[in-house]
């Protein structure tokens, strides 16, 4: 069966029209995706900055905690020394107290 040239031309024209419509739709979709991509890239950049800021804060907290721990250890050691000194003084006083009680 042979197609009439006008039918063939019309068929080609319809296909070209669909291709142009598809192309325009793809251009529009691509533009939307590029806009969305820019927005997501900006959000990612902001999240990375926030993460870095939080990491710095965490490092500062860790340093402060370490410093506080060292201070606490120093205080505990000094307190132990004071208690040992007090106990030695009490041990020195015990014989005097015992002798007073015996009287």
Averaged pLDDT of the chain: 92
pLDDT of 1 reads 61
Instruction: Give how many domains the chain has, as a whole number.
Output: 1
Q: List b or e across 35-67, with b for residues whose CB sees 16 or more CB atoms inside 10 angstroms.
A: eeeeeeeeeeeeeeeeeeeeeeeeeeeeeeeee
pLDDT, mean of residues 36-44: 97
pLDDT at 101: 82
| 15: phi then psi, degrees, rounded to nearest 5 | -65, -45
- Read off the pLDDT band of 27 (50, 70, 90): very high
Range of the domain at 32: 1-103
Q: Supply the Cα-derived Rg of the chain in whole angstroms.
A: 43
Q: For residue 82, give both structure tokens.
A: 């004071």
């Amino acid at each position: 069966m042979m197609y009439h040239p006008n039918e063939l031309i019309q068929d080609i024209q319809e296909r070209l029209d669909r291709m142009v419509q598809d192309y325009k739709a793809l251009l529009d979709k691509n533009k939307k995706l590029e806009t969305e991509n820019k927005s997501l890239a900006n959000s990612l950049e902001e999240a990375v900055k926030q993460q870095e800021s939080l990491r710095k804060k965490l490092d500062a907290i860790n340093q402060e905690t370490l410093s506080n721990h060292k201070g606490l250890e120093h205080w505990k050691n000094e307190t132990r020394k004071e208690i040992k000194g007090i106990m030695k003084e009490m041990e020195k006083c015990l014989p005097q107290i015992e002798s007073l009680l015996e009287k």
